[in-house]
Amino acid sequence: MQRKGSKMRIQLSEHFTYKKLLRFVFQSIAMMIFTSIYGVVDGLFVSNYVGKTSFAAVNLIMPFIMILGALGFMVGTGGSAIVAMTLGEGKKEKAQEYFSMCVYFTILGGILFSITGAVLMPQIARALGAGGEMLEQCVIYGRISMLTLTLFMLQNVFQSFLVTAERPQMGLRITVGAGLTNMVLDYLFIAVFHWGVAGAALATAASEVVGGLTPLFYFAGKNQSLLRLRKTRILPRIVQKACTNGSSELMTNVSISLVSMLYNFQLMRIAGEDGVAAYGVIMYVNFIFSAIFLGYSVGCAPIIAYHHGASNHEELQNLFRKSMKFIGLFGVTLLLVSQAVASPLTKIFVGYDPELWELTSGGFRRYALSFLLSGFNIFGSAFFTALGNGVISAVISFLRTLVFQTCMLLLLPLFFGVNGIWLAIGAAEGMALFVTGAFFMKNRSRYHYLTF
């Protein structure tokens, strides 16, 4: 049975057809979608059972939590690229040493961040504009979230490393288990026990225990994957390289959080509390749609890194061509679907308030125009991370998620009011696509992924 299973498992070293590539990345796509869905469930229960003030409070403090958790994304993506390239070079023991060091570094960073975040939570909530009841709700949700911040970081780290270890199916199963834990406990804690935002935070914390500890125990024991936790010495050069290589993912998550704060500020100024609530709903739905691009990029990155490490230029060209076609197809499909489901999907969250529903559904239709372009930029950043070029990846992410969006958020509302806020993301993605395309063309000979 084991022999049969090993034959069926797709390995990083293989040649990838369209079908095989889609099969390999499917678990990562499903994992990202499911992660987004169970995040949405939090908002769904809080909005419908606790009220829009508490819902706005959760969305106000969430960007700060995501900034702290971004260390996991950085180490996971940057470290997994290094580990995959090392495996491609045939150095399995070195790869395991690098992998172990990335995990231990994340644990230490998580503990430090969680303590600091819990102590400073009231001051941070005030700085974000919370006051009165909203301030109290922000502090409650934020401090409970700090209890399992380290496990949240590990969950993000292992999403990348399970793919590198050729165990994407296990990553999906763990994510589903964590998601179901969150959903069931959301219902119990919020709808049945009426614990409000504290219940939502506790449900999320429980899911992070499942998502962070399960792969930690798996890699700590004997397993049949390519990776296993082991004793390792401190290698500052590798830590620095992993952080530099994954800096684009750190930049993406920090920038998204900072820009979310700017969105909330602009919406509070133009549309009030309803605007913040509407943006919260749009972000939840956007996470589900964008998860397809993110999942594809996470799933494909270890393959790209492996063949780059093995100097298999033909396979790199094959992966690049197929990825461009997949991303384009996904973008058109998501744009069409988003326009069709905008009203019924947003009604699930805020159907109890007709004016808020109208604001939210109209905003999402305009925001969704970005799906046609964003996939190429997301993949471009992940692609250069996989090639070990964290600088280019970081530049794409920095311009796309912070500079261009900030400029558009400040400029477009002057001409289009609240509609300018929803259109800002599409304009920013269009500007970023020129940058991504220029980097693709400039570096094609250096990395041999594109020939004419």
pLDDT tens, position by position, for the chain (452 residues)?
333 444 456 788 888 999 999 998 988 898 888 877 776 777 778 878 888 788 878 878 888 888 888 888 888 888 888 998 899 888 999 999 999 999 999 999 999 999 999 999 999 999 887 888 889 999 999 999 999 999 999 998 998 899 889 888 898 899 889 989 999 999 999 999 999 999 999 999 999 999 999 999 999 998 888 899 998 877 788 888 888 877 767 777 777 778 887 888 888 788 877 887 788 888 878 888 898 998 999 889 889 999 998 899 999 999 999 999 999 999 999 999 999 988 998 888 777 788 888 889 999 999 999 999 999 999 999 999 889 888 898 899 889 988 999 999 999 999 999 899 999 999 999 999 999 999 999 999 999 998 76
CA–CA separation, 1 vs 149, rounded Å? Answer: 39
Considering the entire predicted model, what is its pTM?
0.75
Q: Are 426 and 409 in contact (CB under 8 A)?
A: no
CA–CA separation, 415 vs 103, rounded Å? Answer: 48
Distance of alpha carbon 224 from the chain centroid: 28
2 lies in some domain: no
10 lies in some domain: no
421 lies in some domain: yes
259 lies in some domain: yes
CA–CA separation, 376 vs 362, rounded Å? Answer: 25
331 lies in some domain: yes
Contacts of 236 (CB under 8 A, 6+ apart): none
208 lies in some domain: yes
Q: Helix, strand, coil: what percent of the chain each, to 5?
A: 85, 0, 15
Please report which residue ranges of 148-246 form alpha helices under DSSP H: 149-164, 168-186, 196-220, 236-245
CA–CA separation, 358 vs 343, rounded Å? Answer: 8
245 lies in some domain: yes
Number of domains in the chain: 1
276 lies in some domain: yes
Cβ neighbours around 241 below 10 Å, total:
18
- Domain residues for 68? 15-445
